[in-house]
Amino acid sequence: MLTRLKAKSEGKLAKQICRVVLDHFEKQYSKELGDAWNTVRDILISPSCWQYAILLNRFNYSFELEKDLHLKGYHTLFQGSLPYYPKSMRCYLSRTPDRMPSERHQIGNLKKYYLLNAASLLPVLALELRDGEKVLDLCAAPGGKSIALLQCAYPGYLHCNEHDSLRLRWLRQTLESFIPQPLINVIKVSQLDGREMGDAQPEMFDKVLVDAPCSNDRSWLFSSDSQKATWRISQRRNLPILQLELLRSAIKALRPGGLLVYSTCTLSKAENQDVISEILNSYTNIMSVDIKEMARTCSQDFTFAPTGQECGLLVIPDKGKAWGPMYVAKLKKSWTT
């Protein structure tokens, strides 16, 4: 098995770094992150250093698998006491860049675990889902965060939306692979343009997750088509416009008193802090919720960008903590307009 893992990781290394993207990131992120960018860049361009967390599926729990992970030296994520951390969520990680093989999708058989970037659990935990709540995952594919939400609580209603048809198929398959039939009945999957959701379902949800389309720094660095990469970079300035439109729609769909979490997997200030600042400046009934305590509690597992994150957290890849990029901001809709 170790040989297979080694071969896989060497295969990943063979992926060509896209120079166009790296040069573009170099200019932007050396300004935005300062000295921290050097370490971040070294991790991002070295897939052999990447780490994968193992989220156990409570709907097909395997005591043997958990025992095996302990024996292999894996430890549970978030060993500190987070303000919200449901006992039903079990996530393991190794301090080394070990990768378990993915399980195959088999109709009728639920998978035992989901491989993910551990930082992607932070937006899920920030949402503080409780049993019976109505929750919207506005940009839900490939489905990892929806799966994680269901490890935390039993929502009264979970609406998973994905506009892109290919990604929608992926989302449906993920849900089928992890969620038992009775629970599938409280999940609605739709293919609406997320920008229209607020008008379609105004003030319907207690909690909303907007894991927005963004400059996916990890995958963009390995674009095999340099023409496509050049086009992506030229279009990049339009992403904050889309992100703002999605957030405005999500705010409409959120009931007063409800919570909204915004997340991306990019380091870009324009798509993170600037988007949230724009929202806070244009709404009188939307407030930022402080999640700095989460950073303090998680500091043994994650490295956070030290500055420039007034209203959120930015996980940056680091040696031995190769998680992220992941930006998380939490907002609350007040009763007054």
3-state secondary structure of 141: coil
165 burial (CB, 10 Å; 0-12 / 13-18 / 19+) is exposed
Q: What is the DSSP letter of 187?
A: E
Is residue 139 annotated as involved in ligand binding? yes
211 assigned to a ligand binding site: yes
Q: How far is CA 194 from CA 148, 172, 249, 266, 281, in A?
A: 21, 17, 7, 20, 22
Residue 253 assigned ligand-binding role: no
Residue 140 labelled as part of a binding site: yes
Alpha helices (H) in 181-272, listed in sequence order: 181-184, 197-200, 217-220, 226-235, 239-253
Which active-site residues does the annotation give? Answer: 265
143 known ligand binder: yes
Beta carbons of 289 and 332 less than 8 angstroms apart: yes
Could you tell me how far CA 114 lies from the centroid of its own chain?
13
Q: Establish whether 141 is an annotated binding residue.
A: yes
Could you list the residues known to form a binding site, using ranges.
139-145, 162, 193, 211
- Annotated binding-site residues for S-adenosyl-L-methionine read 139-145, 162, 193, 211
